């Protein structure tokens, strides 16, 4: 082993050297780009590069997902580096070489870690000023004690941090940057200890909110707040009581040399905090760098004035990313609005926006324009997107005859095209279902084990499927058939989806499963056997998760749309319909796939429609032609069952595709 380890270490240092060399070239390139003012990003070149690398990786036996992930990081780094060079060239005060950053909290707090990430690249040392409150952080910059304030404004679990908005609104500081930090809370202690023996937990109020589900499970402990997570760690070090614990980052645990008792204890893994970096002077951002602008405004006190102000954004095609209202101190029931939008203060439409807004407000101040942290990642040539130019020229314009045909009276409203003419686009993770997209959902009928669902996830990802399916609760005809592994399966499914960055879908059978499944699954499926379980429909209608509604095997399209109406009427407007075959006199196939339903539904409803050829056909060797037919007839996607060993599957083995068949299916679809 010694020998191999030596070689691995050598390879690793080689990789580091190469990355540094690559960065140097990146620096050379940006000065050339600056000379002729060419774009910083060349997306078509990036795409070409990634596609070639994936091909190369495949030949060398590397998963395309792995290669893409590694090179996304490398390309992101290069873009960030080039952006920063351009930014510094325009803004850097050459006399200052050190940066003093004021934060709320101390070394090891999340503000500290986010500052290191934000300023980490620069050669200058960063020094910190540790403050007790956000207001003090702001004051430190105003009084020139510090150059920058690093302020957490919002978190994906606990929401907006109002004190920070108030501190920014009340100051004259400019926003000069943003940072997105992945906050991974841990429970830490000075000794190993069983959770139910913990008596006290120190933490920060925001951290406590983000982990309240985990914390409320430790019944023996009371929770006490500190001004930041790092200080709560310091406190347990000082008190030396083995029954005391704290919530903080892994870095803080390292720094203060305490033991991690549990990792990742936030309510959701996607726990991110957005920080704003503020300074006394605004910066200018080269228009080649994607930028955001922030402002505060107070609209006038008359009906519709907020609508009028917001409609200016719409008319100019400016995308707002945040709208937060804060009370105006001293003026009861009056509000100040804080807004972020995508755009550069130098853009002509942003100039127009500010001009026009000015006429509708009582107060308006631009807080700053700064580079946006969201890097738009290039997708590798997904075969499904590189469609040949097969134009359906013969598509007939809407005929007079059709227009004049009297409309049959329908008993649903929200699901109808009359109510909403634009296609509904349903988002699950970063996948959009509906419109012109064709989405493939793949996975086993039932989640049978960690390994099985992981293998399916990998296969789905490698072949560019976008969503992972897997049944956890199975509605089987016979009570003696496999009923699913329940919540254990849900955990395996979620972990597999996360490992391969695939949103997941699973079926809910009962009302009381809905909220718990919705915590972990990106889409809820209501199965064919439950299509008219109106109580269940109402319950998923209250959920914030998208719902895929399978057509019942004896249901008409009118009944399907009325079932969808139950969900929509409860508030959930993210419904996907699924045609999965109906019962007819024909017994040669498991069900009869009603392909005619697709164009009819597309006329009657704005909701996206997925086709499930697996349950319709029941025999794996005939799934491919049916899937192609679904695409040809205009479905927004398909859902297919795949299995690493279909012959040993615990459910629906005969219709589950072998992995090589699935690969074949995906390339057939890509040709269409
Ligand atoms: C399934 O997706 O495994 C399933 C049971 O679907 P349906 O409700 O369409 O039969
Ligand atoms: Mn099935």
pLDDT digits (tens, 9 = 90+) for 429-467: 999 999 999 999 999 999 999 999 999 999 999 999 999
Where does the pLDDT of residue 347 fall: very low under 50, low under 70, confident under 90, or very high at 90 and above?
A: very high
Smallest-distance ligand from the CA of 581: 1
- Residues 238, 229: Cα–Cα separation, whole Å: 15
Side-chain half-sphere CA neighbours of 193 within 13 A: 23
CB 78 within 8 A of CB 23: yes
69-88 per-residue burial string, b: 16 or more CB within 10 A, e: under 16:
eebbeebebbbeebbebbbe
Distance of CA 66 from the midpoint of ligand 1 (Å): 31
Side-chain half-sphere CA neighbours of 620 within 13 A: 22
Calculate the average pLDDT of the chain. Answer: 92
Ligand 1: which residue has its CA nearest to atom 1?
445
Q: What is the CB neighbour count within 10 angstroms for residue 648?
A: 10
Cβ(446) – ligand 1 distance below 6 Å: no
Smallest-distance ligand from the CA of 578: 1
3-class secondary structure, 359:
coil
The dihedrals phi and psi of 452, each to the nearest 5 degrees, come to -65, -45
Atom of ligand 1 nearest to the CA of 446: 3
Please give the average per-residue pLDDT across 379-394, as a whole number: 45
**Is residue 94 over pLDDT 70?**
no
Pairing verdict, β 159-160 and 174-182: unpaired
- Residues 409, 512: Cα–Cα separation, whole Å: 35
Cβ(580) – ligand 1 distance below 6 Å: yes
Distance of CA 476 from the midpoint of ligand 2 (Å): 9
Neighbouring residues of 622: CB distance < 8 A, sequence distance ≥ 6? 589
**Is residue 201 over pLDDT 90?**
yes
Structure tokens at 324: 């937060």
Residues with CB in 5 Å of ion ligand 2: 445, 652
Distance of CA 635 from the midpoint of ligand 2 (Å): 20
Please give the average per-residue pLDDT across 5-22, as a whole number: 97
pLDDT at 572: 94
Smallest-distance ligand from the CA of 471: 1
Distance of CA 40 from the midpoint of ligand 1 (Å): 48
- Residues 634, 581: Cα–Cα separation, whole Å: 16
Please give the average per-residue pLDDT across 307-335, as a whole number: 90
Q: Of the listed 128, 134, 275, 438, which one is catalytic?
A: 275
Cβ(206) – ligand 1 distance below 6 Å: no
Averaging pLDDT over each range in 125-139, 158-172, 627-641, which range is the top one? Answer: 627-641
pLDDT at 96: 61
Least trusted range by pLDDT, from 221-230, 406-415, 508-517: 406-415
Smallest-distance ligand from the CA of 523: 1
**Is residue 391 over pLDDT 60?**
no
Cβ(572) – ligand 1 distance below 6 Å: no
Q: What is the CB neighbour count within 10 angstroms for residue 442?
A: 28
Cβ(615) – ligand 1 distance below 6 Å: yes
pLDDT at 383: 40
Cβ(581) – ligand 1 distance below 6 Å: no
Cβ(550) – ligand 1 distance below 6 Å: yes
Atom of ligand 1 nearest to the CA of 469: 2
Please give the average per-residue pLDDT across 8-35, as a whole number: 95
Structure tokens at 597: 């339903």
Atom of ligand 1 nearest to the CA of 612: 9
- Residues 513, 483: Cα–Cα separation, whole Å: 14
Smallest-distance ligand from the CA of 653: 2
Distance of CA 664 from the midpoint of ligand 1 (Å): 23
Please give the average per-residue pLDDT across 613-635, as a whole number: 97
Distance of CA 508 from the midpoint of ligand 2 (Å): 14
Where does the pLDDT of residue 386 fall: very low under 50, low under 70, confident under 90, or very high at 90 and above?
A: very low
Q: What is the CB neighbour count within 10 angstroms for residue 98?
A: 10
Please give the average per-residue pLDDT across 403-418, as a whole number: 80
Pocket test for ligand 1, best of 527, 547, 591, 640 (most atoms within 8 A of CB): 527
- Residues 127, 130: Cα–Cα separation, whole Å: 10
Atom of ligand 1 nearest to the CA of 580: 9
- Provide, for the chain, the percentages of residues in helix, strand and coil under a 3-state DSSP scheme, each rounded to the nearest 5: 40, 20, 40
Neighbouring residues of 604: CB distance < 8 A, sequence distance ≥ 6? 410, 415, 416, 417, 557, 561
Distance of CA 510 from the midpoint of ligand 1 (Å): 15
Where does the pLDDT of residue 394 fall: very low under 50, low under 70, confident under 90, or very high at 90 and above?
A: very low
Q: Which residues pair with 186 in a beta bridge?
A: 248
589 assigned to active site: no
CA of residue 660 relative to chain centroid, distance: 30
Q: Of the listed 68, 273, 424, 506, which one is catalytic?
A: 273
Atom of ligand 1 nearest to the CA of 529: 8
3-class secondary structure, 341:
strand
Ligand 1: which residue has its CA nearest to atom 9?
528
pLDDT at 36: 86
Cβ(644) – ligand 1 distance below 6 Å: no
Pocket test for ligand 1, best of 470, 471, 594, 650 (most atoms within 8 A of CB): 471
Q: In terms of Cα–Cα distance, which of 544, 551, 549 is closest to 522?
A: 544
CB 110 within 8 A of CB 55: no
Q: In terms of Cα–Cα distance, which of 516, 518, 515 is closest to 505?
A: 518
Cβ(445) – ligand 1 distance below 6 Å: yes
pLDDT > 70: what percent of the chain? 95
Own/partner contacts of 122-129, CB < 8 Å, gap of 24 or more, are: 124/97, 124/98, 124/99, 125/98, 125/99, 126/98, 126/99, 126/100, 126/101, 127/98, 127/99, 127/100, 127/101, 128/100, 128/101, 128/102, 128/103, 129/100, 129/101, 129/102, 129/103
pLDDT at 328: 82
Rg, Å, the chain Cα set: 28
Distance of CA 567 from the midpoint of ligand 2 (Å): 23
* Tens digit of each residue's pLDDT (9 = 90 or more) over 529-538: 999 999 999 9
Task: Pinpoint the alpha helices (H) of 425-525.
Answer: 450-462, 486-499, 514-520
pLDDT at 417: 96
Cβ(471) – ligand 1 distance below 6 Å: yes
Distance of CA 130 from the midpoint of ligand 2 (Å): 57
pLDDT at 379: 79
CA of residue 79 relative to chain centroid, distance: 21
Q: Which residues pair with 342 in a beta bridge?
A: 292
pTM of the predicted model as reported, rounded to 2 decimal places: 0.82
pLDDT > 90: what percent of the chain? 83
293 assigned to active site: no
- Residues 42, 78: Cα–Cα separation, whole Å: 12
Element (H, E) at 542: helix 534-542
Where does the pLDDT of residue 381 fall: very low under 50, low under 70, confident under 90, or very high at 90 and above?
A: low
Cβ(527) – ligand 1 distance below 6 Å: yes
Distance of CA 572 from the midpoint of ligand 1 (Å): 21
pLDDT at 398: 47
Q: From start to end of 266-405, where are the E strands? A: 272-279, 291-299, 320-327, 335-342, 361-371
Distance of CA 446 from the midpoint of ligand 2 (Å): 7
Could you tell me the CA-to-CA distances from 149 to 135, 139, 145 in Å, in that order?
10, 9, 10
Ligand 1: which residue has its CA nearest to atom 8?
527
Atom of ligand 1 nearest to the CA of 581: 9
- Residues 231, 253: Cα–Cα separation, whole Å: 11
Atom of ligand 1 nearest to the CA of 651: 3
Q: Is 503 left (phi over 0), alpha (psi -120 to 50) or beta?
A: beta
Pocket test for ligand 1, best of 441, 483, 580 (most atoms within 8 A of CB): 580
Own/partner contacts of 661-668, CB < 8 Å, gap of 24 or more, are: 661/620, 661/621, 661/623, 661/624, 662/442, 662/459, 662/463, 663/459, 663/463, 664/624, 665/623, 665/624, 665/627, 665/640, 666/383, 666/384, 666/440, 666/463, 666/464, 666/465, 667/383, 668/624, 668/627, 668/628
- Residues 427, 623: Cα–Cα separation, whole Å: 26
Side-chain half-sphere CA neighbours of 447 within 13 A: 28
Q: Which residues pair with 325 in a beta bridge?
A: 337
Q: Which residues pair with 275 in a beta bridge?
A: 152, 179
- Residues 133, 143: Cα–Cα separation, whole Å: 15
Atom of ligand 1 nearest to the CA of 475: 5
């Amino acid at each position: 082993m010694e020998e191999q380890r030596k070689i691995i270490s050598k390879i690793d240092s080689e990789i580091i050297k190469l990355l540094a060399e690559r960065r140097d070239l990146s620096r050379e390139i940006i000065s050339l780009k600056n000379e002729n003012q060419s774009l910083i990003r060349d997306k078509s070149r990036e795409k070409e590069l990634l596609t070639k690398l994936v091909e190369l990786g495949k030949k060398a036996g590397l998963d395309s997902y792995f290669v893409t992930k590694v090179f996304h990081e490398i390309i992101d780094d290069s873009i960030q580096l080039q952006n920063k060079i351009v930014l510094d060239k325009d803004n850097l005060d050459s006399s200052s070489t050190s940066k003093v950053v004021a934060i709320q909290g101390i070394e090891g707090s999340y503000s500290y870690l986010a500052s290191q990430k934000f300023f980490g690249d620069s050669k200058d040392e960063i020094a910190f000023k540790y403050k007790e409150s956000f207001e003090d952080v702001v004051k430190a910059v105003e009084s020139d004690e510090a150059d920058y304030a690093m302020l957490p404004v919002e978190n994906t679990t606990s929401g907006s941090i109002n004190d920070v908005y108030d501190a920014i609104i009340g100051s004259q500081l400019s926003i000069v940057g943003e940072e997105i930090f992945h906050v991974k809370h841990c429970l830490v202690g000075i000794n190993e200890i069983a959770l139910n023996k913990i008596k006290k937990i120190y933490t920060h109020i925001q951290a406590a909110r983000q982990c309240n589900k985990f914390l409320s499970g430790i019944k023996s402990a009371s929770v006490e707040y500190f001004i930041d997570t790092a200080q709560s760690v310091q406190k347990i070090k000082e008190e030396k009581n083995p029954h005391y614990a704290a919530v903080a980052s892994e870095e803080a645990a390292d720094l203060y040399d305490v033991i991690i008792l549990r990792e990742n204890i936030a309510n959701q893994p996607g726990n991110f905090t957005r920080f704003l970096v503020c300074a006394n002077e605004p910066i200018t951002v080269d228009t080649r760098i994607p930028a955001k602008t922030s402002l505060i405004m107070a609209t006038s006190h008359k009906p519709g004035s907020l609508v009028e102000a917001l409609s200016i954004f719409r008319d100019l095609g400016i995308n707002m990313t945040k709208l937060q209202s804060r009370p105006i101190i001293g003026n009861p029931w009056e509000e100040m609005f804080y807004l972020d939008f995508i755009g550069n203060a130098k853009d002509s439409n942003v100039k127009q926006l500010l001009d026009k807004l000015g006429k509708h407000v009582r107060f308006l101040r631009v807080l700053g324009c700064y580079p946006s942290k969201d890097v738009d990642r290039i997708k590798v040539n997904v075969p499904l997107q590189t469609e040949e130019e097969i134009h359906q020229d013969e598509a007939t314009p809407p005929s007079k005859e059709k227009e004049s045909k009297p409309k049959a009276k329908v008993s649903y409203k929200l699901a109808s095209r009359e109510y909403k003419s634009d296609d509904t686009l349903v988002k699950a993770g970063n996948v959009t279902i509906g419109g012109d997209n064709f989405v493939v959902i793949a996975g086993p009928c039932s989640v049978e084990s960690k390994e099985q669902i992981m293998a399916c996830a990998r296969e789905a990802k490698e072949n560019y499927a976008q969503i992972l399916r897997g049944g956890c609760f199975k509605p089987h005809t016979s009570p003696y058939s496999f009923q699913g592994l329940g919540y254990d399966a849900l955990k395996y499914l979620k972990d597999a989806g996360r490992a391969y960055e695939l949103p997941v879908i699973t079926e809910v059978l009962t009302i009381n499963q809905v909220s718990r499944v919705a915590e972990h699954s990106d889409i809820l499926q209501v199965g064919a056997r439950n299509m008219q379980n109106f109580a269940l429909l109402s319950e998923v209608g209250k959920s914030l998760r998208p719902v895929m509604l399978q057509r019942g095997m004896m249901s008409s399209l009118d009944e399907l749309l009325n079932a969808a109406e139950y969900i929509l009427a409860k508030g959930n407007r993210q419904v996907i319909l699924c045609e999965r075959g109906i019962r007819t006199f024909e017994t040669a196939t498991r069900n009869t796939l009603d392909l005619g339903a697709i164009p009819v539904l597309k006329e009657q409803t704005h909701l996206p429609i997925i086709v499930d050829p697996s349950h319709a056909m029941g025999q794996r060797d005939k799934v491919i032609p049916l899937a192609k037919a679904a695409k040809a007839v205009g479905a927004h996607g398909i859902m297919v069952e795949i299995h690493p060993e279909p012959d040993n599957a615990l459910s629906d083995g005969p219709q589950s595709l072998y992995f090589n068949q699935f690969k074949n299916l995906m390339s057939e679809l890509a040709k269409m």
